[in-house]
Amino acid sequence: MTRFARTFAAVLGIGTLLVAGASMGGLAAAPDQPKKTTICLLPKKKGLPYFTTCAKGAQEAAKELGVELIYDGPTDGSPEKAASMVDRWALQKVDVIAVSPNDPQVLGTAMKKARDKGIKVITWDADAAADSRLFLVNQATAKDIGYALIDAMAKDIGGGGGEEPAGEVAIITATLTAANQNEWIKHMKERLEKYPKLKLVATKPSNEDQRLAFQVAQDLMKAHPDLKGIFGISSVAFPGAAEAVKQAGKTGKVLVTGLATPNDMKAYVHEGTVKSVVLWNTVDLGYLTVRAAHALANGTLKAGDTTLEAGRLGTKKIEGDQILLGQVLVFTKDNIDQFDF
């Protein structure tokens, strides 16, 4: 045997031993890592401070749980674009899709299709038809939110000194198709019965556009010169309306209250254009949503459960198919600087 032949045989022999060793486990590749749970979080409109702070809490929970979080949504609030994202995630076979729908009909169709593919679907912040999702992660009941808005305005107009509030008020909502806001409005009207001298004169949409909310508020003040209060019940309608009142020189004459993050409203509160800001802890809402999604994915959350163990939030109540954060907060000049979100 030539030297070359002997060398070739030796190399071949070593290769055979390596293959044999690998087949017997001696040099086997490390076993595949378990697949991470993938949760997709879809806001109504990406880029709004409200949803950005929700995402902060969601990322906190995802890190604690070791899950993969995909946070994405249309920057223009288009429900059609949001629905296409749901379709794409369903094709990718993610574990859970959590949707904040700004149009429950458009999103509901995509959500049902995702469920048909075996994807677990929940809603958060806003709801769609019950047959399109398994649970709603709700910041509070619609009644609690609606009542808190009216009580805050009544107190602000009445001066907080027991004087009966009186005057015309108007609502600026996000869109006329926003199911959660329509529920809030229903309970706002119900609560107004407690204050017979407060008269609701208009409900107008702002299409999740702060500039449009500004214009709508200006138009309302012109159309109703005796207007005493404006509700901005979305995170962009509220600051838009407040800015319109400020620029019209009607600070203290037309009061504005509504729903927005405290950071967005601090300047208006300190200058007196706004006396009360109604909201919930948005960071906690995002955190709770991911906690609920993970529990659903691993089977520890099931239909009929009455509580959910939610990490640092403790035990959260479940009413029917709604997981409740359950904490409506009212920010005023006395406490708003204590919050940073």
> Quick one: pLDDT at residue 4?
38
Domain boundaries, the chain: 38-139+282-326, 142-279
3 state DSSP class of 261: coil
> Quick one: pLDDT at residue 32?
58
3 state DSSP class of 234: coil
| CATH topology match: 38-139+282-326 vs 142-279 | yes
Phi, psi of 40 (to 5 degrees): -105, 130
Task: Give helix then strand counts, H and E, for the chain.
Answer: 10, 14
Find the helix packing angle between 210-223 and 237-247, rounded to 10°. Answer: 50
CATH topology of domain 142-279: Rossmann fold (3.40.50)
> Quick one: pLDDT at residue 178?
87
> Quick one: pLDDT at residue 14?
38
286/263 Cα distance (integer angstroms) = 17
CATH topology of domain 38-139+282-326: Rossmann fold (3.40.50)
> Quick one: pLDDT at residue 136?
97
> Quick one: pLDDT at residue 161?
67
Phi, psi of 300 (to 5 degrees): -85, -5
Q: Which tens digits make up the pLDDT trace of 80-94?
A: 999 999 999 999 999
Buried b (16+ CB within 10 A) or exposed e, 168-194: bbbbbbbbebbbbbebbbebbeebbee
Tell me the DSSP string of 154-185.
HHHHHTTTTPPP-EEEEEEES-TT-HHHHHHH
- Chain centroid to CA 245: 27
322/58 Cα distance (integer angstroms) = 18
CA atoms within 13 A on the CB side of 230: 38
pLDDT < 70: residue spans in the chain:
1-34, 160-161
Say if CB 140 and CB 323 are below 8 A apart: no
> Quick one: pLDDT at residue 159?
75
